[in-house]
Amino acid sequence: MKPVQRVFVDGTSFLDAEGRTLLFRGCNLGGDSKVPVSGTRPDTISFVGRPFPEAEADAHFARLAGWGFNLVRLVMTWEAVEHAGPGVYDEEYLSYLRNVIKSADAHGISVFVDPHQDTWSRATGGSGAPAWTLEAMGFDLSLLEATGAVDRSGPWPLNYHRYACATLFTLFFGGNTFAPGRYVEGMTAQDWLQDHFIDAMRHTARRLKDCDGLIGFGTFNEPHPGFIGLPTLGTRARMMAAEGVVPTPFEAIAAASGFPVEASRFALFGHREVRGAETLNGIGKSLFREGFVCPWREAGAWTEREGQAVAVNDAFFARGEFARDYLKPFQARFMDTVSKKHEHYVFFAEGVPLAERASWPAEDRVRSDGKPLQVAEAFHWYEGFLVTGKKWRPWLAADALNNRAVLGRGPVRKSVGEQFSSLASKPRAEDIPALVGEFGVPFDLARGRAGGESGWHDQEEAFALYYDAIDSSMLHSLVWNYAASNGPGRGDGWNGEDFSIWSESTGGGRALKGFSRPWPVAVSGTPDSFSFNAKNGEFNLEWQGTPGVTEIFVPAHWYPGGWRAEVTPAKIGIATYEEDPDRQRLFVTAVEACALRARILPL
């Protein structure tokens, strides 16, 4: 199949050059791209070979295309581009990335680049920013763990509560408000950090400019407020792990400056304190190198009196709304800069996962020079009980939008559908497309006992439930993730996660029937609805057709005995269809506008 070389945003839809309505299905490529292939020092590390060796690209993209995928969110990090130092770009990596995207082109797969991060940086327990971003703020990287500024002993999301991650996010998005006196090389910390990030992505776009299948860029994976918006320095909020040590902002701040602190252990569900407090910075050393102090002390949030850290302004970070006042200006600046000379790009904006988002009404989707921007929203969704408990219970789910548990198979199915519908309704109300940028199912359920030689029944059942909800809302979606290096004992190769739908241990897709199923790739006209019944293999699509070809993916693994199609136009003789099992496609050609229905059944 030829790649979609240009995507047009038309209201809430994506269109191809023929004016057909596109539906994107694909994956994030991949979880192992968060870590380098080799090297340990900033000047020696290399990400060349992420997501896979260039020589293997064709085999991987052929597999993805065979599963019906037509879009990948290409995971890359700021560190991968600019690890050696400010303004020093890894040209070998960018050349490699260009060749990988061109391989995707050859297999009919479109790409958008995802500048990825988790808890800011690998230096702070996650992935994303180069370590020099922390050094520029005066941190002694050798003391990050000893001072309690980073926690590598518990679940990685707990680092959002630790000083290093929370401070860098606060400076990156709101430094001009909260630390206006903190300068780096004559610039405010916020402007310095944002300039380097945006310039690195602009340079990346410049190096990839001749990749026909590159349709755009994400703006910033899973942006986080840091301390911004917390009502007091004693507030515990935004917990993203089942259980762990969660210092208050003030406890994290005090510990980083050399004051030992007893921090409590909390459980997410019920947000209750449990046993197991931990001393942060028992060594009593400051995180900061000589000549530097905490930016929040400089700005007047706290001070030291009689050898103790003392809060001066308890509501110091309670200024403004994160999405409106800090995230949106950054996203607008990013899109304005990167779209220069790349006006055809679609920008996939994200909000805080399952929380606040920036709004993008028509009057804001305009560059500084008055030219329009193509904007879509790529929200993330994960089912909390499954991801944290690692056990599939089809009768139990977390309703993340209403902060409650849902019991019963029927109510769970209804709740998941309502969550996707609600998340999609916000961008659609602003007349922009909605895409599920991440959702997924762990493959290490029941401590690794679910799956493997016994099959992937639990994962397939979970995927079927989620895709049914996605189909009902006619959403674009990208599963997390495809990690080419996934294997026994390694998982995705990052922080113990094992979400990859591919593993070298199986030599193929894991839970294949869960994520690769029939769906309409391109519709000549406007789709009204589509659905797939995993129990009997029946697929139905209804649409208001216009002259042209509608293309439906029909995966062979769902129909080992073959399949047949039924196509019903409102008027006889104005539509024809071709069954093409070799290409796993049903093509329906309409010669005039009419209402159409396609039905696919196993033989």
The number of CA neighbours under 13 Å toward the Cβ of 144 is 23
Say if CB 295 and CB 137 are below 8 A apart: yes
Q: Tell me the two tokens of residue 352.
A: 């805080």
- Residue 61 near residue 103 (C-beta atoms within 8 A): yes
- Same domain for 464 and 381? yes
Q: Do residues 505 and 455 share a domain?
A: yes
Q: Is the peptide bond before 495 cis (omega within 30 degrees of 0)?
A: no
Is 505 a member of any domain?
yes
Residue 34 to residues 71, 121, 215, 360, 550, Cα–Cα distance (Å):
19, 10, 22, 29, 37
Check if the beta carbon of residue 295 is closer than 8 Å to that of residue 189. Answer: yes
Query: Can you say how many angstroms the Cα of residue 44 is from the centroid of all Cα atoms in its chain?
Result: 28
Residue 69 has pLDDT above 60, yes or no: yes
| % of the chain at pLDDT higher than 70 | 97
Spatial distance between the Cα atoms of 355 and 201, rounded to a whole number of angstroms: 26
Q: How far is the C-alpha of 436 from the C-alpha of 28, rounded, in Å?
A: 11
Q: What percent of the chain has pLDDT over 90?
A: 91
**494 lies in the same domain as 560:** no
362 and 453 belong to one structural domain = yes
Last residue of a domain, one of 515, 539, 563: 515
- pLDDT, residue 448, reads 58
The alpha carbon torsion through 344, 33, 326, 240 (nearest 10 deg) reads: 140
One domain, residues 413 and 529: no
On the CB side of 19, CA atoms within 13 Å amount to: 7
User: Would you place residue 271 in the very low, low, confident or very high pLDDT band (cuts 50, 70, 90)?
Assistant: low
Judge whether 132 and 240 are in contact, CB under 8 Å. Answer: no
In a domain, 246, yes or no: no
Q: How far apart are the first and last CA of the chain?
A: 26
DSSP-derived letter for residue 289 is P
Res 12: pLDDT: 98
pLDDT above 80 (res 450):
no
454 shares a domain with 328 = yes
Does 81 share its domain with 12?
Answer: yes
Q: Please return the burial class of 198, using the count of CB atoms within 10 Å of its CB with bins 0-12, 13-18 and 19+.
A: buried
Shared-domain flag, residues 454 and 535: no
The verdict on 181 and 222 lying in the same domain is: yes
DSSP for 509-552?
A: ETTHHHH---EEEEESEEEEEEEEETTTTEEEEEEEE-SEEEEE
453, pLDDT greater than 60: no
Amino acid type, 82: E
**Cα–Cα distance measured from residue 62 to residue 187, given in angstroms and rounded to the nearest whole number:** 47
Block residue for tokens 């292939």? 37
Look at residues 460, 490, 515 and tell me which one is the last residue of a structural domain: 515
In a domain, 305, yes or no: no
CATH of the domain at 426: 3.20.20.80
The answer on pLDDT for 454 being more than 90 is no
Is residue 552 in some structural domain? yes
Q: Helix (H, G, I), strand (E, B), or coil: what is residue 311?
A: strand
Domain containing 185 equals 8-128+167-226+320-515
- Tens digits of residue pLDDT in 330-355: 999 999 999 998 999 999 999 999 99
By CB atoms closer than 10 A (0-12, 13-18, 19+), residue 231 is exposed
In a domain, 307, yes or no: no
Whether 364 and 440 share a structural domain = yes
Same domain? For 213 and 85 the reply is yes
pTM exceeding 0.95: yes
Residue 179 has pLDDT above 70, yes or no: yes
Residue 449 has pLDDT above 90, yes or no: no
The answer to which of 46-50, 212-216, 266-270, 568-572 has the lowest mean pLDDT is 266-270
Find all residues with CB under 8 Å of 436, minimum gap 6, and list them.
Answer: 378, 379, 380, 381, 420, 423, 470, 475, 476, 477, 478
Radius of gyration of the chain (CA): 25
Provide CB contacts within 8 A for 290, sequence distance 6+: none
Contact 536, 595 (CB under 8 A): no
Question: Which residue, chain included where needed, has tokens 């969704």?
Answer: 381
- Give the CATH number for residue 555: 2.60.40.1180
Q: Domain tally for the chain?
A: 2
Q: Where does residue 566 fall: left (phi above 0), alpha (psi -120 to 50 degrees), or beta otherwise?
A: beta
pLDDT at 237: 82
Where does a domain end: 496, 515, 534?
A: 515
pLDDT at 91 over 60: yes
In a domain, 374, yes or no: yes
Residues 497 and 462 in one domain: yes
Reported in sequence order, the residue ranges of 46-195 that DSSP labels E, i.e. its strands, are 71-77, 110-116, 183-184, 187-188
> What pLDDT was estimated at residue 2?
56
